[in-house]
Amino acid sequence: MSKLLIVIPAHNEEDNIVQVVENLTSQYPEYDYVVVNDGSRDKTAAICRAHGYRLIDLPINLGLAGAFQTGLRYAAENGYDCAMQMDADGQHKPEYIPAMLAALEEGNDIVIGSRFLTVKKPKTLRMLGSYIISWSIRLTTGRAICDPTSGMRMFNRAMVEEFAQNLNYGPEPDTISYLIKNGATVKEVQVEMGERMAGQSYLNLWNSAQYMIKMSISILLIQWFRKRDTETPYPERSL
Amino acid sequence: MFDQTIIRVCLIVGSLLTAGFVLRRVRMAKVQIEDTIFWFGFSAALLILAIFPGIAYWAADLLGFMSPINFVYIVVIFLLLVKQFFMSIRLSQLDSKVRMLTEQVALNQEKLERDKLDL
């Protein structure tokens, strides 16, 4: 079985982090995890230390992309075969990890835990952004990604190394579209997600609209011009 | 009429050069994509003003400018001022982050040295 690292980026998640980590470790003690505290202003880091969780404590706030990249660098440096992102707010359920890992071991580069693979995507305002991003990816890559905004993504060793070393590899749909265009294989696995357990989501209407516009411009216009640096395969560089 | 054509051509060339330059940076992975969005918007605004001069005429008339090109200047100045404002904030944040990081590194170093002495 591949050695999997679960990266849990946490920013001001003192109300959720214990339940999320306990839920993971009690059900699946065989998987390694690491909490990346993204410069939280609450007691997230102190709580993790008190419970003895494996913690990377960033001294300043880097944002999700930076926190996740930290986790992937940890995975790359410590010889993990694959890594996945799991949100610290309890939306991502560990029950689906084995299915995703199995899909990754079939030879896929990226596995997305998708809410809308077999379930119909609701036609609500909240999902409008998801529709637009799905459509953008469809248009530019020809591949249907049912749930592009799902944060529950698993990456194989080559992807982990590539994400860990480069600029513009945020864990976002535009990176996925770029990688599909460059021949990465992406598979979705149907999952169910919970509601956020406690605390405030940063996703208000204004932020969502900004995010959507940024992603659409990035996927539709900018990703075409990127050059992929793969003369030497990433896993071979650090050997 | 001749003047206006030259200005329009300059605007189009300027806008395409901006977009081309930024895209080259993206290609070389020298810039983060979120930082390029403004420049694409800026370049699109110039392009639209150059291709549809009617907009500048209409706005200049509405705002009481002597010449439509003044409206173009105002738009450019406004966009650059806004950008300048946000860059100033970004710079200030970066500055404080670098200070925090430097302090952190120095504190970690001191701790390492103290641990070594204790052994």
Task: Answer whether residue A43 shows pLDDT above 70.
Answer: yes
Say which residue the tokens 């890594």 belong to.
A83
Q: Look at residue A8 and tell me whether its pLDDT is greater than 50.
A: yes
Q: Do A217 and B101 touch (CB under 8 A)?
A: no
Question: B47 touching A, CB under 8 A?
Answer: no
Residue A93 has pLDDT above 60, yes or no: yes
**For residue B26, what pLDDT is reported?**
93
Q: Do B27 and A227 touch (CB under 8 A)?
A: yes
At A58, give phi and psi (nearest 5°): -75, 130
- Work out the average pLDDT over B82-106: 96
pLDDT score of B100 more than 90:
yes
Q: Which of B28, B31, B37 sits opposite A217 (nearest CB)?
A: B37
Whether B104 sits inside 8 A of A59 (CB atoms) is yes
Contacts (Cβ under 8 Å, ≥6 apart) of A41? A12
For chain A, say whether B16 makes contact (Cβ under 8 Å): no
Distance from CA of A226 to the nearest CA of B (A): 4
What percent of chain A lies above the pLDDT cut of 90? 79
Confidence of residue B44 (pLDDT cuts 50, 70, 90): very high
- Report whether pLDDT(B115) > 50: yes
- For residue A216, give how far its alpha carbon lies from the nearest alpha carbon of chain B (Å): 11
Do residue B33 and residue A168 have CB atoms under 8 angstroms apart?
yes
* B40 reaches A (C-beta below 8 A): yes
Mean pLDDT of chain B: 92
Partners of residue A69 in chain B, C-beta under 8 Å: none
Instruction: Identify the bridge partners of residue A82 per DSSP, sorted by sequence position.
Output: A4, A156
Average pLDDT score over residue span A176-192: 94
B29 touches A: beta carbon within 8 Å: yes
Q: Assign A200 a pLDDT band (cuts: 50, 70, 90).
A: low
Q: Each residue of A207-229: pLDDT tens digit? A: 888 899 999 999 999 999 998 88
Task: Tell me the pLDDT of chain A averaged across its residues.
Answer: 91
- Look at residue A239 in the predicted model and tell me its pLDDT: 65
Helix/strand/coil for A35? strand
- Statement: residue B3 has pLDDT above 80: no
Read off the pTM: 0.88
Q: pLDDT by residue (tens digit) across A17-33?
A: 999 999 999 999 999 99
CA distance A26 to chain B (A): 34
Give the pLDDT of residue B1: 47
Tokens in use for A204?
């208000």
Q: Residue A195: pLDDT band by 50, 70, 90 thresholds?
A: confident
- Residue A48 CB: number of other CB atoms within 10 A? 24
Task: Name the residue of chain A whose CA is nearest to B24's CA.
Answer: A225
Cross-chain CB nearest to A60 (options B32, B33, B97): B97
Confidence band of A1 (pLDDT split at 50, 70, 90): low
* pLDDT digits 0-9 by tens, A73-92: 999 999 999 999 999 999 99
pLDDT digits (tens, 9 = 90+) for A149-161: 999 999 999 999 9
Which long-range contacts (C-beta less than 8 Å, at least 24 apart) are formed by A183-187? A184/A109, A184/A110, A184/A159, A185/A107, A185/A108, A185/A109, A185/A110, A186/A108, A186/A109, A186/A110, A186/A111, A186/A112, A186/A143, A186/A145, A187/A103, A187/A104, A187/A106, A187/A108, A187/A110, A187/A111, A187/A112
The ipTM assigned to this model is 0.80
| Domain extent listing, chain A | 4-228
**Over residues B80-104, mean pLDDT:** 96
Give the E-state strand segments of chain A in sequence order.
4-10, 32-38, 55-58, 82-85, 110-114, 153-156, 186-190
Compare A47 and A125 and report the one with higher pLDDT: A47
For A163-177, A193-207, A210-224, which range has the lowest pLDDT when averaged over its residues? Answer: A193-207
**CB contact set of A188 (below 8 Å; sequence gap of 6+):** A111, A112, A113, A114, A117, A145, A146, A147
Q: Does B32 touch chain A (CB under 8 A)?
A: yes
d(CA B83, CA B60): 23
A4-228: CATH architecture? Alpha-Beta Complex (3.90)
Question: Which pLDDT value is given to residue A201?
Answer: 67
Q: How far is B4 from chain A (nearest CA, A)?
A: 30
The pLDDT score that the predictor gives to residue A233 is 79
Min CA distance, B7 vs chain A (Å)? 27
